[in-house]
Amino acid sequence: MPFPIVISFYTKDTFYQLEVQNLIASCEKFGIGSQIEPIGSFGSWEVNCAYKPFFIHRKLQELKQPILWVDADGVFKRQPEDLSLFASHDFAVRINTDVPIEHPSRVVSSTIYANYTPGADALLRQWANRCRSEINRTGRQEEFWDQMALRDALYSEDNPAVFTSL
């Protein structure tokens, strides 16, 4: 199984526009295919981050093959390991089992493997809907992280995806 295409986006006219150059260079250094796109700001860091599941879903539908999301400030320090062991899963993400399920950092969404499967499709839709609902929730005071919505989607009873820790 070939290594998945790395996808990411960065917000134009922000420091991420410079930061993403390190990710691009590391993909080139290790011969990793990538599709990294600029986006305009949606008005805040929170809303820009909440766009992540929408972007991942769109790219998965366009590419029709497994993908690996890496945040724009991520970088490959060495040749990545074979991810073929994830081929039997719909989704993989870093899960911190040392913290309770309700902890904001239980799931870390900086690197995500999504397989081109109905389970991954459904999970990405659920994650996107949860992000949209939380960002638009009237009276919201606390900072919102997209990974909290992903955590809730992963651990929901109606999650159809087979997932594992990355």
Instruction: Give me the pLDDT at residue 21, please.
Output: 97
Torsion, Cα of 4, 95, 151, 146 (10° steps) = -60
Instruction: Give me the pLDDT at residue 93, please.
Output: 96
Instruction: Give me the pLDDT at residue 1, please.
Output: 62
> What b/e readout covers 57-68, taking b as 16+ CB neighbours within 10 angstroms?
bebbeeeeebbb
List of residues 6+ apart from 159 with CB closer than 8 A: 122, 123, 126, 153
- In this prediction the pTM is 0.94
Q: Which of 131, 28, 134 is nearest to 76 (CA)?
A: 28
Residues of the chain with pLDDT under 70: 1
Contact between residue 15 and residue 48 where contact means Cβ atoms under 8 Å apart: no
Using the 8-state DSSP alphabet, how is residue 127 labeled?
Answer: H
Could you give the CA distance from residue 99 to residue 95 in angstroms, rounded to a whole number?
A: 9
